[in-house]
Amino acid sequence: MKTVTRLTIFLIIAFICFTSSAYAQSVSDSVIIKTDTLQKDSLILIADSSLDNNILPKKSQFEAGMTYQSNDVYLGRKDSVVLPYYIPVLTYYHKSGLYVTASLNYLKNKTDSRIDLVTLEGGYIFSTGKYDGQIIASKYFYNSHSTAVTSDIKASFAYQNSYDFGFIKATFTGTLNIGNKLDFAGLFGLEHSFYFLDDKLDLTPTFEVSGSTQNYYNEYYKNRLYTIKRKGQPVQTGIASITGTVLNSSAFKILAYEPTLPINYKIGKCTINFSPTYSIPVSPANVAIQSVRDDGTVINRTRSEKIENTFWWTLGVSFLF
């Protein structure tokens, strides 16, 4: 039933796009980098309304979109519970390259239904020949009940740039994340776009390597009651709480390799996006775990976190007006 509901929503929006295409302007009215409003990593690394996700318009315009994200994954890390999001987005692009955008992440799974995150973002996009750049400033408002691994991050500043060599495009994003402590994140990617159907359809095979310090992840472990139940094992009794601390969280490490295949189909001013991603996490964190029993006894131990590959995807529709 849930799958049918999701498909129904997107089919309705797609129908609007088809019927409105007769009124669309020519593609020559704007210089398109790529209209892809889909989130990549859960905080858009951290503001990955990236170069490849935006437009350099010849005139000022709005863009409205809706995205479904199958799970919340950031640098290969995720919560023990699947966090699927419905994400409405509204963006205003000024012809100068300045833009502002607002979005919210509405969580809907088996146990929870709430607004998990509100994001406000502003930035500047520019393009000079084969070199593109984007400056991004973002502010995040997480629900106090959020279990997203990035829920400690309150704001971020990022600079994203890319150079098109023709046969391949190289991208690099450097991000400063602001939480209880600062984090530095970096993403390097290689991609190449293929165009079909008079450039209405494009596919961009992409491979990305990302790394970061993990102070945000340390806060995730510290602030959450860590009560993961393992299949086939009895539930622990007599334990009041379990918390964890990530050791050496200020050290920069390569954390994930991610092949992805963004697909965009344009219908006039409307773009339908689908982006499947396979996240391969590396460098598991060493976590100091503290268990407190009901009688007040404290037990300390250290273990290496268990990480696993994750397939996740986003599906969205956006419309320029």
SS (H, E, C) the chain: CHHHHHHHHHHHHHHHHHHHHHHCCCHHHEEECCCCCCCCCCCCCCCCCCHHHCEEECCCEEEEEEEEECCCCECCECCCCCCCEEEEEEEEECCCCEEEEEEEEEEECCCCEEEEEEEEEEEEEEEECCEEEEEEEEEEEECCCCCCCCCCCCEEEEEEEEEECCCCEEEEEEEEEECCCEEEEEEEEEECCEEECCCCEEECCEEEEEEECCHHHHHHHHHCCCCCCCCCCCCCCCEEEEEEEECCCCCCEEEEEEEECCEEEEECCEEEEEEEEEEEECCCCEEEEEEEECCCCEEEEEEECCCCCEEEEEEEEEEEC
Could you tell me the pLDDT band of residue 316, with boundaries at 50, 70 and 90? very high
Torsion angles phi and psi, residue 107, rounded to 5: -85, 130
Q: What is the pLDDT of residue 39?
A: 42
Q: What is the pLDDT of residue 225?
A: 54
Tokens of 6: 């999701």
Q: What is the pLDDT of residues 267-293, one digit of tens each?
A: 998 999 999 999 999 999 999 988 787
86 to 62, 117, 157, 317: CA distances (angstroms): 20, 11, 24, 12
Could you tell me the pLDDT band of residue 33, with boundaries at 50, 70 and 90? very low
Please tell me which residue, 15 or 273, carries the higher pLDDT value.
Answer: 273
Burial of residue 124 (CB within 10 Å: 0-12, 13-18, 19+) is middle
| Ranges 149-153, 228-232, 233-237: which has the least confidence | 228-232
Q: Parallel, antiparallel, or unpaired: how do β-strands 253-260 and 270-281 relate?
A: antiparallel
- Check which CATH number belongs to the domain holding 160 and give it: 2.40.160.40
Instruction: Judge whether 34 and 48 are in contact, CB under 8 Å.
Output: no
Q: Provide the residue range defining the domain that includes 102.
A: 2-320
How much is the average pLDDT of 93-113? 94
Can you give the pTM of this predicted structure?
A: 0.81
Q: What is the pLDDT of residue 283?
A: 97
| Number of domains forming the structure of the chain | 1
- Is the pLDDT at 231 greater than 60, yes or no? no
